[in-house]
Amino acid sequence: MGAAAPAQHCGPVRVAASGTVDSGPAQAGLVMSELTDFEHGITAVDTHYVRPQLDASHLIRHAGRAAFVDTGTTLSVPYLLAALEARGVAREAVDWVFLTHIHLDHAGGAGALLEALPNARAVVHPRGAAHLVDPTILIAATRQVYGDALYERLYGEIRPIPTERLVITRDGTELALAGRVFRFLHTPGHALHHHVIHDPLADAVFSGDTFGIAYRELDVAGRPFLMPTTTPTQFDAVQLHASIDRVLALRPAAVFLTHYSRVTDIVRLGVELHAALDAYVGFAESHAADPDPVAGIVADMTAWAWNELDARGHRADEATRQALLADDIRLNADGLVAWLARRKS
Ligand SMILES: [Zn+2]
């Protein structure tokens, strides 16, 4: 989309409705870090974005070195540094900050994090790099959407990243962490500046927002409920189907979602994601000629989601479901409408 600003976030902004948000840590030394440890040196760190278990950064430790996948916002950085301390990792031992894409809940904290990690470099898709070096457009666009007060509470000050500390990927780029190889695959669909990271040693993929969002409060017996995220302004259904297939072609045992962390049974989840995306597109097409297409899509997507939850045996009441999903459904509808308009033009 040329020089235009990318969308500010991948979705969840429930704070806009409720007005409540974690105001961030007062002092880094007092921060409690919610950590979940997995095999192969992988730890999910809660970034404290909006609410618990919404937004994860993943810390990867290998042979004395470390990497992060996604950072949360600038306000998340103290939690990431606390996670290093809790796992006994020196700040000097972090080599990489892998950014799946540059939406602010994924990369907003990258500049501030790099200032605390003397040896780390950030790794970004070529379409995102310019916005990290000069975040002016990103900041202005986000302030316009949220207003200054909410912007500052949600995202803090976004720090620029010096060009020499950025590594820009090609499709297929491989980077090593103490010999452990990670491979980057360009995966447009959620955003044009999105890549995923294959970790063959862990038999896992770090998917950012390419493999959907899991609302972990809605897990039933360990089974997650995934929704594709189709938020403005770069969502493209055809690209997203293809990118989901690229993840599936790696046949990973696990996928680490930014929202939120590890899921398994990937073949089944892939089938569900494709079906959900097809359903979304159907809702969008059937309301394309409505005077207010968003309202119709929201109604259909809500009914679809409630149906899926019922089918899984989920018993959350209406208010809980609305609180978790309503704002994302609205953003998904906005993104679908924007995509239909682009497709038509
Ligand atoms: Zn996201």
> What pLDDT digit, counting tens, does each position of 220-243 carry?
988 999 999 999 889 999 999 999
Distance (Å) from CA 174 to ligand 1 centroid: 23
> Ligand 1 mean position to 38 CA, how many Å?
21
Q: Is 344 within the bounds of a domain?
A: no
Residue 328 lies in a domain: no
Q: What is the pLDDT of residues 53-112, one digit of tens each?
A: 999 999 999 999 999 999 999 999 999 999 999 999 999 999 999 999 999 999 999 999
With respect to residue 315, please indicate whether it lies within any of the assigned structural domains: no
Q: How many distinct structural domains can be found in the chain?
A: 1
User: Does 6 have pLDDT greater than 70?
Assistant: no
| Residue 254 phi, psi (nearest 5) | -145, 155
pLDDT of residue 33: 59
Element counts in the chain: helices (H) and strands (E)? 11, 15
Cα dihedral value 143, 144, 147, 150, nearest 10: -40
How far away, in angstroms, is 262 Cα from ligand 1 center? 15
Distance in angstroms (rounded) separating the CA atoms of residues 101 and 112: 16
CA angle, 17 as apex, 159 and 316 as ends, to 5°?
A: 115
pTM comes to: 0.91
Q: Is residue 137 part of a domain?
A: yes
Q: Give residue 126 CA to ligand 1 midpoint distance, Å.
A: 18
Q: Give the domain range for residue 160.
A: 15-267
Distance 294 CA to ligand 1 centre (A): 21
Inside any domain, residue 154: yes
Ion ligand 1: residues, Cβ under 5 Å: 10, 105, 209
The verdict on residue 335 lying in a domain is no
| Ligand 1 centroid – CA 7 distance (Å) | 11
The first and second tokens of residue 288, run together, are 């394309």
Q: Which amino acid is at 303?
A: A
pLDDT digits (tens, 9 = 90+) for 290-340: 999 999 999 999 999 999 999 999 888 899 999 999 999 999 999 999 999
pLDDT value at position 147? Answer: 84
Ligand 1 midpoint to CA 227 (Å): 12
CATH number of the CATH domain containing 204: 3.60.15.10
pLDDT for residue 316: 84
Helix segments in the chain, DSSP class H:
15-18, 77-86, 104-107, 110-116, 129-133, 136-146, 148-155, 237-249, 266-286, 293-311, 318-344
Centre of ligand 1 from the C-alpha of residue 259, in Å: 7
209-222 pLDDT per residue, tens: 999 999 999 999 88
In a domain, 147, yes or no: yes
- Distance from residue 122's CA to the centre of ligand 1 (Å): 18
| Cα 10 to ligand 1 centroid, rounded to whole Å | 4
Q: How confident is the model at residue 344 (pLDDT cuts 50, 70, 90)?
A: confident
6 is a domain residue:
no
